[in-house]
Structure 1
Amino acid sequence: MPVFLLISCGDKDHSIKMKGSDTEVNLAVNLAEQYTEIDPDFSIAISGGGSGLGITSLLNGQADIANSSRPLSDEETKQFERKNIVLRTVVFAEDATAFVVHKDLPLDEIDLATLALILKGDIVNWNQLTSVDLPINIYGRQSSSGTHSFIKKKLKIEFSSAAKEMTGNAQILEGIKTDKSGIGYVGAGYIAHESGNQTVKILNIKESFNSPAYSPIDAHTINNNLYFFQRPLYQFILEDSWKKVKPFIDFENSERGKQLIIQHGYYIKDRTSNEI
């Protein structure tokens, strides 16, 4: 699990713990670094590990903020209610999930039905789709990952038991860079910000075989809701922590914060904050 720790000389009551989505972790670290320039007393510890881990950390009192690339499940909502824990929900950016392959694979776009067959394990060799005779290796995430749940629900599938379970975006990208038979999924904002990814190719996605293909890193596509795998990014915040967290959330919503979000390859859409 990637861990990033930012410490200042602030007092204990001012320190914040943020855990959760690997999709959001690089962006969260950069936002926190920039905010400490404004508020030198600000102190925050940030770690990834998946949306589920972040939400569980809130339940267990081990975090103030859970970054999540998915909404709360019905069961999670009930767990917070049973513990009388009140949350605030902030949608601070829009993301898209990119499907990536090695640059040498002769495939530039894929339709949803074919993608589902690959991830389910029904299509097992690239020669069923291309001129390349290579067994397909799937690079995915653990079940605690919000991105894993998102893809599974959007395609209405169960992942192949042969799919590799990786700990985050970075590990998936490293796998694809060295595996000409690999296919994986990562946050589009992450890969747009990642340097040295010349050996990785982003597939354009078509909803059906005859539909137009769309890229997850095209702003026009995302702003017009044309990409199948786009989604809001959430921050769930303990009501008891809201007072100390709010200045940082206000920074995210500032023009400087918005620019940082855009620079990381994410998109700004309608954002709200409310209690659940």
Structure 2
Amino acid sequence: MIVREIYEKIIPEIEKKVAEGLSNGSGFSELAAIVHEWVNKLGVRILEQIAEDADKAFKDSAERKRHWQIVRKDTRGILTAMGQVNITRNYYRHKKTGEYSHLVDEVLKLPAYDRTDEGLKADLILKASGMSYSKAGRSNSYAEVSRQTVMRCIREAGTLVHVPECSKKKSVPVLYVEADEDHVAHQDGQNRQAKLVYVHEGAKRNGKRCELQNVHYFASTSTDTESLWTEVLEYIDQTYELDQIERIYIAGDGAGWIKENT
């Protein structure tokens, strides 16, 4: 089995790296990091091989030869929590209907233009509930993404629910609530309005940049804006001492869903 062959090739490499680490005085945590890195490499290679084997099975099948003509080979990258998986597969044309398809993509249920794995998206969304988009995007060294990618994952998912990080409420004199909207193309081809609300405690200059302090984001593509604002209010109530807040500044671009709920 080819997967076993990959395993047998990588295991000696892991043993070699661990031995080098031990000889250099590496501790348990450092050894764990070495093993983690190689386990990720093994996982990436196995996924690539699975796709390659599936494509070869299609290519060699009598059914494929009867109905589908090979047009070319294409390579696409899918970013997973283990790292980048590069899949090379054939692009086919149906002899009768003229339809074009990467048959392997259909079997593996890979969206046509999506380059981020669903599992990684879920992890990014979860992390973004407790940190900035930028930090969430950098949280996995094997799969770093931009803040725009994190934002897109949240918008595609719908509403992002936040859980307060601690049970003790904070006392702040001023709080800021900012709202924005954008139009996002979804995988189903439809263009939907994405609503974004973020709550923060002001901005602090860091060199040439201004960083929002203790910012929490809420996003939704639903038309039910009242539910989105309810989540924002619940977060503020659960996180801050309301009677200690002297002012709450609300800013937006003037869209109707912002005005009617503020």
Tell me which interval the TM-score lies in, with the shorter structure as reference length: under 0.3
For the pair shown, which has the larger CA radius of gyration, 1 or 2? 2
Higher helix share: 2
Give the number of the structure with larger relative contact order, counting CA–CA contacts within 8 Å between residues 6 or more apart. Answer: 1
User: Which TM-score applies when normalising by structure 2?
Assistant: 0.25
User: Which TM-score applies when normalising by structure 1?
Assistant: 0.24
